[in-house]
């Protein structure tokens, strides 16, 4: 029986680590920020004009694609209690799910680290160089604070995955600046908060035209709420989430499925921040985990059936929950929108269908690794409502009306009716149902203090700790990097 890593499943090629590194390197070399040996466009003579400033920020957004293509959801979801690898999943997915990985697992653990710091360095270049460009002051200020948002986003991922991490505040321009020790997590969080508070004070509430999808004030506040929540700073989390709620900019989609429909990406009222994949200019892209989780032989294109939904995740959905059977996952046999009856052996259980847009011709008829235009949804309004509800349930003052109403808005949209009381357990259960396979579960379990119990139930043994190891490849390059306990 053949087994597949993420890349070999998609491209029938070599093991994932080297190819993933090549992909990321290829993206880094295919944009204007890298010097072209034919004209040697160095940073010192690039940051000259308004167009240069916009292009530099756009390149920072582009770097976010590498962050969310593969390694992020391997760590946030496959390592959680929501996903089981099928027998054909390669050793990378098996080790991640079984918690037998270690610091030598360069994919996904090293790739995630490198992708985040690549983005941070691009953001630092913008923050350090764009203020010196003679251009429209308001636009220049906005661009710098878009970069600060993106930098904070990257650091929030890093500190939640790895704990103490190097805090690189300025562009790295020489090898001498690479050996940076780990900063305490508290210092990293303080840096994140400062970036997001500054961004929230400058960024606009909305954009128009081609600028739709850029970081907004609401995105900065929502991410700030998430940073506070992970630190269990309930009062500040409620305050930040409350500002998003009372802004009047966002609302829940009436149809939960609209969160995952390509036709309304970026433009639906629930969308706060997405990582944009166009399916044309980047290899792979979007929610490619759909290709790995759709059952083998699903008509219309790539479908590999290499992972399934855990029984505990399936069991949480009531029969009338639109997010459950037919929404997040399907069972065999399944009748699709085209009327085809699909029966499968792989995966050996329920298959994820959450990101398959059944109203999109490409998703239904020509799905492929190299042409996935589904965005990665980083922040949406349901998350803000449930962060607010969690913070208030933990004792924070209500700053934006009833937290029970916030919780029940999400529940009623799902068709399961209201909760009778606001409790921490109710909110936690709702987060799992709402965000299954959206990159939330690992962080939620860590915040709840439930990682040991959840992973032990899944694997038969506890995880080595609440953090991932510092990649050994990075420790070889930077001897000042210490290792996390357990590794």
Per the CB < 8 A criterion, the answer to whether 362 and 287 are in contact is no
Q: Hey, where are the domains in the chain?
A: 1-203, 208-276+375-448, 284-368
Tens of pLDDT, residue by residue over 210-243, are 999 999 999 999 999 999 999 999 999 999 999 9
**CA 453 to CA 357: how far, in whole Å?**
34
Q: Does residue 18 have a pLDDT over 90?
A: no
Percentage of the chain exceeding pLDDT 90:
80
pLDDT for the residue 289: 80
pTM of the model: 0.92
Place of tokens 């298959």: 351
**CA 334 to CA 353: how far, in whole Å?**
11
Q: How far is CA 101 from the centre of its chain?
A: 21
**CA 370 to CA 138: how far, in whole Å?**
38
- What's the token pair of residue 359? 């109203």
Report residue 185's pLDDT band, with 50, 70 and 90 as the boundaries.
very high
pLDDT for the residue 372: 80
**CA 428 to CA 438: how far, in whole Å?**
15
Nearest in space to 16 (alpha carbons), one of 288, 378, 356: 288
Q: Does residue 473 have a pLDDT over 50?
A: yes
Q: Does residue 35 have a pLDDT over 80?
A: no
67: left (phi over 0), alpha (psi -120 to 50) or beta: alpha
**CA 31 to CA 40: how far, in whole Å?**
13
Rg (CA), the chain: 22
Q: Write out the DSSP string of 354-379.
A: TT--TT-HHHHH-B-TT---PPEEEE
Tens of pLDDT, residue by residue over 248-264, are 999 999 999 999 999 99
Tens of pLDDT, residue by residue over 288-322, are 887 888 999 999 999 999 999 999 999 999 999 99
Nearest in space to 111 (alpha carbons), one of 83, 79, 74, 140: 74
Pick the CATH number of 1-203 from 3.30.9.10, 1.25.40.390, 3.30.390.10, 3.40.50.2000: 1.25.40.390
Angle ∠(58,438,384) on CA atoms, nearest 5: 80
Whether omega for the bond prior to residue 160 falls within 30 degrees of 0, making it cis, is no
Q: What contacts 221, CB < 8 A, 6 or more positions away?
A: 196, 200, 240, 241, 243, 244, 247
Whether omega for the bond prior to residue 35 falls within 30 degrees of 0, making it cis, is no
**CA 225 to CA 443: how far, in whole Å?**
14
The dihedral formed by the CA atoms of 62, 64, 66 and 70, expressed in degrees to the nearest 10: -140
Helix (H, G, I), strand (E, B) or coil at 58: helix
Tens of pLDDT, residue by residue over 119-166, are 999 999 999 999 999 999 999 999 999 999 999 999 999 999 999 999
pLDDT for the residue 176: 73
Which architecture, in CATH terms, is 208-276+375-448? Alpha Horseshoe (1.25)
Q: How far is CA 235 from the centre of its chain?
A: 25
Domain 1-203 and domain 208-276+375-448, same fold? Reply is yes
What is the DSSP code (8-state) at residue 301?
Answer: B
């Amino acid at each position: 029986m053949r087994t597949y890593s993420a890349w070999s499943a998609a491209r029938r090629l070599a093991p994932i680590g080297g190819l993933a590194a090549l992909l990321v390197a290829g993206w880094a070399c295919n944009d204007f920020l890298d010097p072209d040996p034919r004209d040697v466009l160095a940073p010192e003579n690039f940051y000259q004009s308004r167009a240069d400033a916009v292009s530099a920020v756009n390149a920072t957004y582009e770097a976010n694609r590498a962050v969310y293509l593969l390694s992020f959801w391997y760590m946030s979801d496959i390592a959680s209690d929501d996903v089981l690898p099928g027998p054909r999943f390669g050793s990378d997915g098996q080790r991640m799910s079984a918690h037998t990985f270690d610091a030598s697992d360069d994919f996904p653990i090293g790739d995630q680290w490198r992708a985040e710091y690549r983005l941070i360095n691009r953001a630092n270049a913008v923050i350090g160089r764009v203020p010196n460009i003679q251009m429209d002051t308001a636009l220049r200020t906005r661009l710098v604070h878009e970069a600060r948002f993106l930098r904070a986003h990257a650091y929030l991922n890093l500190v939640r995955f790895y704990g103490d991490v190097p805090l690189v505040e300025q562009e790295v321009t020489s090898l001498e600046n690479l050996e940076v020790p780990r900063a305490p997590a508290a210092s990293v969080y303080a840096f994140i908060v400062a970036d997001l508070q500054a961004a929230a004070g400058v960024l606009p509430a909305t954009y128009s035209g081609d600028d739709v999808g850029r970081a907004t004030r609401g995105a900065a506040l929502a991410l700030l709420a998430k940073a506070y929540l992970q630190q269990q700073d309930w009062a500040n989390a409620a305050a930040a989430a409350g500002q998003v709620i009372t802004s009047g900019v966002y609302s829940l989609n009436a149809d939960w499925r609209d969160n995952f429909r390509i036709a309304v990406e970026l433009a639906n009222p629930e969308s706060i921040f997405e990582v944009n994949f166009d399916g044309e200019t980047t290899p792979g892209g979007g929610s490619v985990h759909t290709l790995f989780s759709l059952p083998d032989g699903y008509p219309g294109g790539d479908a590999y059936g290499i992972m399934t939904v855990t029984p505990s995740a399936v069991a949480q959905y009531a029969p009338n929950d639109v997010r459950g059977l037919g929404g997040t996952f399907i069972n065999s046999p399944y009748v699709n929108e085209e009327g085809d009856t699909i029966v499968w052996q792989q995966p050996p259980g329920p298959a994820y269908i959450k990101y398959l847009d059944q109203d999109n011709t490409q998703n239904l008829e020509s799905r492929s690794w190299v042409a996935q235009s589904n965005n990665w949804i980083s922040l949406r309004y349901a998350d803000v409502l449930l962060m607010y509800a969690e913070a208030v349930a933990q004792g924070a003052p209500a700053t934006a009306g009833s937290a029970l109403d916030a919780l029940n808005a999400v529940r009623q949209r799902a068709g399961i009716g209201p909760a009778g009381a606001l409790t921490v357990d109710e909110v936690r259960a709702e987060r799992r149902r709402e965000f299954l396979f959206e990159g939330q579960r690992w962080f939620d379990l860590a915040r709840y203090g439930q990682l040991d119990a959840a992973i032990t139930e899944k694997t038969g043994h506890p995880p080595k700790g609440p953090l991932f190891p510092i990649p050994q490849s990075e420790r070889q390059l930077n001897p000042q990097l210490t290792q996390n306990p357990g590794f």
